[in-house]
Amino acid sequence: MKKNTWKYGGAIFAILLTFVFVWNFNNTVSKETVISVKAKSLKKDIKNETKSGTTKGMKTAFTIVSHADYTKDAASVYTMYQKAQVVLVGKFEKENKSFVDNGFIETESHMKITKVLKGTLADSEMKNGIDIVSYGGEVTLDTYLNNTTQEPEKVESNGVVHKPKQYSKQERESEKVVSIPEQQANKDKDKNSEVMVFLSRNPAPNNYFVIADAFGYRKINNKGEVFNPITNSYENVDFYSKN
């Protein structure tokens, strides 16, 4: 009797474990199609990260092109302003690192601040600049595989089994994974370009995340006009003045 109890209990546990795995996998995939303006916690203890430039020259194992249905929210600079917790004007100095967080490749860049249009920054942040995080970037294949849930085997109706690709140690260390938002819009990281950036933030200092992917960056021309990636033209914005 005890043996049967353990037997049935083990079977139920296996079923529940399978359900949890499948649910987690589907939930991770579904996030690719959702835009979130909620602040993301930047994990300071992430060990598997790729410093900017270390993937240069590496062969690309595969490219991830993510899509989010946020065009309506990004159509108006005023809607973006309302959704953002912090809106600032500044210039990019450098990309610090790329890493994998919750299955997504993200990149941290450093910005020097020219003007704060919404929200507040600490004096030290105004003086030294801030680190901002956005989706997209490049990491080594090894970093990516170590920080993501791998696809399970797929079985077709005819019984054919498709196993996920297996990579050698050399491939994992010499190849990279590239993540690109489908809409690159006007994500201009030229050090000479002044941009308006729309951010969410966490309570911790230097923890800012760009909302609406690449649409959270708006280049500013020498007339003080702000680029609209939907109309592909510059426009005057009444909450911003270059002077």
Please classify residue 234 by burial: count the beta carbons closer than 10 Å to its beta carbon, then call 0-12 exposed, 13-18 middle and 19+ buried.
Answer: middle
Strand ranges inside 11-150, DSSP E = 49-51, 59-66, 86-101, 104-118, 130-135, 137-140
What is the rounded distance in angstroms from the CA atom of residue 79 to the CA atom of residue 72?
A: 9
Q: What is the pLDDT of residues 73-118, one digit of tens each?
A: 677 889 999 999 999 999 998 889 999 988 889 999 999 999 999 9
Q: What is the pLDDT of residues 197-242, one digit of tens each?
A: 999 987 665 579 998 877 888 899 999 999 888 788 899 999 998 7
The confidence score (pLDDT) of residue 236 equals 93
Q: What global pTM score does this model have?
A: 0.74
The radius of gyration of the chain's CA atoms, rounded to the nearest angstrom, is 22
Q: Does the structure show a pLDDT above 50 at 32?
A: no
Residue % of the chain over a pLDDT of 70: 69
